[in-house]
């Protein structure tokens, strides 16, 4: 791998300076941030934003400056509002093609039912006001489209992939949904090569150095499309091949400085989840302590760019509990406590 890989990624990911000036700038810089765990996603943005608080990140979501939807891999992500349409248009079709037969076979969501569901949701949300998921399920049931057994969620997911709807502001602990046309301004569609070119540049802006396999994993593109995207953007990129693997990064990426600073990353953070190969930052022998067999990804503490511990909030008193993956030095323990204090400040709990 290239020298200073972790230092370059820490800087590209905006975990180290320069970090973003606003929550929406942090999200835009990374192009998309995995967000099926809503509260973890808030901290992922806060970690990368100067003096951010949870309230500020949620305000950006409530305003629609940041949008939570399913652009790729069938997984919820946060995107800047002006990135939603072109990314969904480029990446969602592959997910739909992979899922259509299963939805029809296992859930009875065939093309006719999906079309009825689309008409129903367009009518239900026509006034532009956000409605809670539970309300939309009730409308489905009343119209004879059963929402049980996750049929409702899969229908909403499908319509998000169709650019019909997306999530709106939270209502208490519940997500709401809005028509995309009411929430995201229209934009001219991109030709496929133009979109692939943009995707490669934007991915490497927030994730480089990375490989074509990493880009394919993150985006859900086929490997051939990922390689084509990098070739289209190659005039603005640097590359280095080591042991048969080619790593790419932006030519305008600043030269990073090494840091032993400790950072608390949330569950499902892009620093780990944004790449197919995680061994540059996580010892292979420790993988199952971070990536569980049921698809969960633990919150981690990184030191010098590598995972040194996992962490969670204690149910009893809200303190941070660490599970070290290797012996930690006293100075590292002290740095962990400072990092935990920054996280509590973000939450508004500066004990």
DSSP-derived pairing of the beta strands 300-303 and 306-313 = antiparallel
Residue found by looking up tokens 């409308």 in the block: 139
Please state which of the four CATH numbers 2.40.50.140, 3.40.190.10, 3.40.50.1370, 1.10.10.10 is assigned to the domain occupying 190-250. Answer: 1.10.10.10
Task: Map out the domains of the chain as residue ranges.
Answer: 64-183, 190-250, 262-347
Residue 20 β-bridge partners: 49
Which residues neighbour 163 within 8 Å (Cβ) at sequence distance 6 or greater? 85, 88, 89, 92, 180
pLDDT value at residue 135: 97
Question: Is residue 264 exposed (0-12), middle (13-18) or buried (19+ Cβ within 10 Å)?
Answer: buried
- Averaged pLDDT, 91-103: 96
Comparing C-alpha atoms, which of 3, 72, 11, 1 is closest to residue 250? 11
Indicate whether 66 pLDDT > 80: yes
3-state secondary structure of 26: helix
| 320-324 vs 306-313, strand pairing mode | antiparallel
Q: How confident is the model at residue 351 (pLDDT cuts 50, 70, 90)?
A: low
Mean pLDDT, the chain, integer = 95
Q: What angle do CA 66, 70, 75 make, to 5 degrees?
A: 115
What predicted TM-score, i.e. pTM, was given to this entire model? 0.96
Indicate if the pLDDT at residue 268 is higher than 60.
yes
Res. 258 pLDDT band, cuts 50 70 90: confident
Q: Does residue 319 surpass a pLDDT of 90?
A: no
Which of the four pLDDT bands, split at 50, 70 and 90, describes residue 16? very high
Name the DSSP class of 33: E
Using alpha carbons, select from 22, 28, 9, 29 the residue that is nearest to residue 49: 22
Please check whether the domain covering 64-183 is classified as CATH 1.10.3470.
no
Across the range 169-197, mean pLDDT stands at 95
Q: Do domains 64-183 and 190-250 have the same CATH topology?
A: yes
% of the chain surpassing 90 pLDDT: 91
| Mean pLDDT along residues 237-258 | 92
Q: What share of the chain has pLDDT > 70, as a percent?
A: 98
Give the three-class secondary structure for 31: coil
- Token readout for 302 is 């990184």
């Amino acid at each position: 791998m290239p020298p200073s890989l972790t230092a370059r990624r820490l800087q590209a990911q905006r975990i180290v300076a320069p970090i973003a000036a606003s929550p929406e700038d942090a999200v835009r810089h990374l192009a998309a941030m995995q967000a099926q765990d809503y509260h973890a996603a808030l901290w992922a943005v806060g970690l990368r934003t100067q003096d951010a608080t949870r309230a500020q990140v949620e305000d950006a979501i409530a305003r629609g400056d940041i949008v939570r939807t399913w652009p790729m891999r069938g997984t919820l992500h946060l995107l800047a509002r002006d990135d939603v349409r072109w990314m969904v248009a480029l990446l969602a079709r592959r997910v739909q093609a992979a899922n259509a037969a299963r939805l029809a076979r296992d859930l009875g969501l065939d093309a006719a039912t999906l079309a009825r569901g689309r008409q129903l949701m367009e009518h239900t949300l026509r006034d532009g006001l956000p409605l809670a998921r539970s309300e939309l399920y009730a409308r489905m049931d009343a119209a004879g489209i059963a929402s049980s057994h996750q049929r409702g969620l899969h229908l909403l997911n499908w319509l998000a992939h169709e650019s019909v709807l997306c999530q709106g502001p939270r209502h208490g602990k519940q997500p709401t949904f809005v028509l995309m046309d009411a929430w995201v301004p229209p934009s001219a569609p991109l030709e496929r090569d133009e979109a692939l070119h943009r995707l490669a540049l934007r991915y490497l802006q927030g994730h480089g150095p990375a490989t074509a396999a990493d880009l394919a994993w993150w985006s859900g593109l086929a490997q051939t499309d990922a390689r084509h995207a990098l070739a289209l953007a190659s005039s603005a990129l640097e590359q280095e091949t080591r042991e048969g693997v080619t790593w790419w990064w932006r030519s305008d990426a600043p030269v990073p400085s090494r840091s032993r600073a400790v950072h608390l990353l949330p569950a499902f953070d892009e620093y780990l989840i944004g790449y197919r190969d995680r061994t540059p930052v996580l010892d292979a022998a420790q993988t199952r302590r971070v990536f569980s067999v049921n698809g969960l990804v633990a919150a981690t503490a990184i030191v010098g760019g590598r995972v040194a511990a996992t962490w969670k909030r204690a149910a009893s008193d809200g303190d941070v509990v660490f599970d070290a993956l290797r012996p930690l030095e006293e100075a590292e323990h002290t740095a962990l406590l400072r990092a935990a204090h920054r996280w509590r400040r973000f939450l508004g709990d500066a004990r």
